[in-house]
Amino acid sequence: MNNKITIEAIVENTMDKVWMAWNDPEHIMKWAFASDDWEVPEATNDLKVGGRFMTRMAAKDKSAGFDFAGTYTEVVPNQKIAYTMDGDDARTAVTLFEVFGEKQVKITTTFEMENENPEEMQQGGWQGILNNFKKHAETL
């Protein structure tokens, strides 16, 4: 069993806008990278149990890239998304969305670590992506 890492952020916006920005491929392409020297040139999302998602993450200088993809195992609109990531180890992740007041949403993601990179690097990368999401969603 892989160890788990939890990241979180509070987004200043309504649940409807946060949920849409999290799941709409046009929006995913604007935030799903950990640093400004990366981008998402392609994203697809079939948000339902058994549905698949794919986010192509690539260095802007074209030196590296990979597909982050998987299959949804649970979808509760405006509350919870769970999925299994593609790969030999079939790691899982769960993201919870909680309303805080009229225009705040707390997002908490817990994911199973992979075995190639140090925990600090994984936590930093996933938190960087969540911070980019927060920045994007708060402009909507």
pLDDT tens sequence for the chain (140 residues):
569 999 999 999 999 999 999 999 999 999 999 999 999 999 999 999 999 999 999 999 999 999 999 999 999 999 999 999 999 889 999 999 999 878 999 999 999 999 999 999 999 999 999 999 999 999 99
What residues contact 120, with CB distance under 8 A and at least 6 apart?
A: none
Q: In angstroms, how far is CA 16 from the centroid of its own chain?
A: 17
Question: What pLDDT is stored for residue 101 in this prediction?
Answer: 79
What residues contact 122, with CB distance under 8 A and at least 6 apart?
A: 5, 113, 114
Domain 4-36+73-137, what fold?
Answer: Alpha-D-Glucose-1,6-Bisphosphate; Chain A, domain 4 (3.30.530)
Name the H helices within 1-140: 15-23, 25-31, 119-137
Q: pTM for the whole thing?
A: 0.96
Q: Which two tokens stand for residue 64?
A: 């590296």
The domain spans of the chain are 4-36+73-137
Question: What pLDDT is stored for residue 2 in this prediction?
Answer: 67
